[in-house]
Amino acid sequence: MKTTYGILGIALYLFCNVSIATDIYKVKNIKQGESLNIKQQPSRKSKTLLALPHDASWILRRDTGRKVVNKVVWRKIQWNNQTGWVSAYYLENDPQASIQAAKRKACLNDRKIKEKICCGYTKAARQQAYKHVPILSVKNIPVGKSLVLYAKPTEFSKKLVAIPHNATWIADLGKNVKHNGTLWKQVRWTGKIGWVKSNFIKPDPQTTHIGDLKRKLCTGVL
């Protein structure tokens, strides 16, 4: 029991951190399948900490996080618990995420709602039956590099998105295909369904457990 509520507590803490944000950005000016580097310092020569997907959203602005270096404006941001610097040229306000954040904040402050971790679940999502979803995470990808999600199980296929080196919450859809000696797995990540090379992903039991518990709580099916 302690383990269950401990995991949910961690998930809720991370969720609340996003929900109370006021300045939220999304990536712009990056081609599909490419990425935007988060730098350790406001400089192109600085160490790359993480590669942001071309369509990344829910990027939080950090306080006093603005510097101009060699006429380039840099913003200090946070995304998925990674804090660093990116060029402001590649960021724009995300009004949709800001509206969602405001709704979630109101939900968190509503004393009538007991299961705060369910804040953000739509009415339709709450009515769905519980379903177990195996979750995967990325492995064997260097820091600052990405795992490409392809439309089909081949590198000659269209690139859908670049998945960061430390990404998780990758849903295993249960389909595997071998093509030219390479085993590919069909997955879903941030709403996109495609194929990744199986040697770059691994089961993530802890995140799978968190997801299962959240769905059990938020769909009302125990």
Q: What is the pLDDT of residues 71-90, one digit of tens each?
A: 999 999 999 889 999 999 99
Cα dist from 172 to 133, 188, 198, 200, whole Å: 7, 7, 11, 13
Handedness of CA 172, 29, 38, 45 (dihedral sign): positive
Residues paired with 77 in a beta bridge: 61, 84
Place of tokens 């457990």: 209
Nearest residue to 220 via CA among 154, 81, 125 = 125
pLDDT digit string, tens, across residues 134-159: 999 999 999 999 999 999 999 999 99
Whether the model pTM is above 0.75: yes
Q: Transcribe 67-92 into DSSP letters.
A: EEETTEEEEEEEETTEEEEEEGGGEE
pLDDT digit string, tens, across residues 85-102: 999 999 999 999 888 888
Residues in CB range of 202: below 8 A, 6 or more apart: 136, 137, 139
Domains along the sequence of the chain with CATH:
20-97 (2.30.30.40), 135-211 (2.30.30.40)
